[in-house]
Amino acid sequence: MTNMPKYNIVEVITLRESMLPQFHLSEENIRARATAASWQRGVNYFESGAVFDAVWREGTFTAQVEGSAPEPYRVRVRLDEQGNIQEAFCSCPYEGSGDCKHIVAALLFFLRRPEEVSARPSLRTLLESQTRDQLLALLHFLAEQHPEIIETIEDFAAPPGAEEKPPVAVDVNRVQAQIKAKVREIGRYAYDAYARADDDWPRVSEALDPAIEQARALLDQGEPRSALLLLEAATLAWIEGCHRLDQNFLEDSEDMEEENLSAFAEIWSEALLSADLSAEERRDWERKLTSWKQTMIGGSVLEMPLTAVRQGWDYPPLVAAMRGNFDERGAWEGESPNFADDLAQVRLRILKARGRYEEAIHLAEAEGQIFTYLQLL
Confidence bin at 225 (pLDDT 50/70/90): very high
pLDDT value of position 81: 73
Question: Same domain, yes or no, for 247 and 361?
Answer: yes
pLDDT value at 235 more than 70: yes
Question: Same domain, yes or no, for 73 and 205?
Answer: no
Across 150-160, average pLDDT: 67
Encode pLDDT of 97-129 as tens digits. 889 999 999 999 998 998 899 888 877 888 888
Question: Same domain, yes or no, for 164 and 111?
Answer: no
Question: Same domain, yes or no, for 242 and 103?
Answer: no
Question: Same domain, yes or no, for 207 and 352?
Answer: yes
Q: Which residue has the higher pLDDT, 188 or 30?
A: 30
Question: Same domain, yes or no, for 194 and 91?
Answer: no
Three-state secondary structure readout of the chain: CCCCCCCCCEECCCECCECCCCCEECHHHHHHCCCHHHHHHHHHHHHCCCEEEEEEECCEEEEEECCCCCCCEEEEEEECCCCCEEEEEECCCCCCCCCCHHHHHHHHHHHHCHHHCEECCCHHHHHHCCCHHHHHHHHHHHHHHCHHHHHHHHHHHCCCCCCCCCCCCCCHHHHHHHHHHHHHHHHHHHHHHHHCCCCCCCCHHHHHHHHHHHHHHHHHCCCHHHHHHHHHHHHHHHHHHHHCCCHHHHHHHHHHHHHHCHHHHHHHHHHHHHCCCCHHHHHHHHHHHHHHHHHCCCHHHHHHHHHHHHHCCCCHHHHHHHCCCCCCCCCCCCCCCCCHHHHHHHHHHHHHHCCCHHHHHHHHHHCCCHHHHHHHC
Q: Which of 75, 104, 120 is the last residue of a domain?
A: 120
Question: Same domain, yes or no, for 114 and 198?
Answer: no
Confidence bin at 226 (pLDDT 50/70/90): very high
pLDDT value of position 2: 42
Q: Which domain holds residue 54?
A: 10-120
Confidence bin at 157 (pLDDT 50/70/90): low
Encode pLDDT of 285-313 as tens digits. 999 999 999 888 888 899 999 999 999 99
Question: Same domain, yes or no, for 335 and 245?
Answer: yes
pLDDT value of position 231: 96
Across 38-52, average pLDDT: 95
pLDDT value of position 12: 34
Across 55-62, average pLDDT: 88
Confidence bin at 170 (pLDDT 50/70/90): confident
Question: Same domain, yes or no, for 233 and 341?
Answer: yes
Q: Which residue has the higher pLDDT, 225 or 156?
A: 225
pLDDT value of position 26: 84
pLDDT value at 1 more than 50: no
Answer whether residue 111 is part of any domain.
yes
Q: What percent of the chain has pLDDT over 90?
A: 36
Confidence bin at 150 (pLDDT 50/70/90): confident
In total, the chain counts a number of residues equal to 377
pLDDT value of position 169: 66
pLDDT value of position 327: 86
Report the domain count for the chain.
2
Answer whether residue 143 is part of any domain.
no
pLDDT value at 188 more than 50: yes
Confidence bin at 3 (pLDDT 50/70/90): very low
pLDDT value at 164 more than 50: no
Question: Same domain, yes or no, for 184 and 51?
Answer: no
Answer whether residue 156 is part of any domain.
yes
Question: Same domain, yes or no, for 174 and 58?
Answer: no
Encode pLDDT of 238-251 as tens digits. 888 887 776 776 66
Q: Which residue has the higher pLDDT, 157 or 303?
A: 303
pLDDT value of position 6: 37
Answer whether residue 310 is part of any domain.
yes
Q: Which of 102, 120, 138 is the last residue of a domain?
A: 120
Answer whether residue 356 is part of any domain.
yes
Q: Which residue has the higher pLDDT, 2 or 241?
A: 241
Answer whether residue 138 is part of any domain.
no
This prediction has a pTM of 0.56
Question: Same domain, yes or no, for 161 and 113?
Answer: no
| AA letter at 61 | F
Answer whether residue 1 is part of any domain.
no
Encode pLDDT of 325-341 as tens digits. 888 888 998 889 999 99
Task: Output the average pLDDT for the chain.
Answer: 82
Q: Which of 120, 135, 163 is the last residue of a domain?
A: 120
Answer whether residue 141 is part of any domain.
no
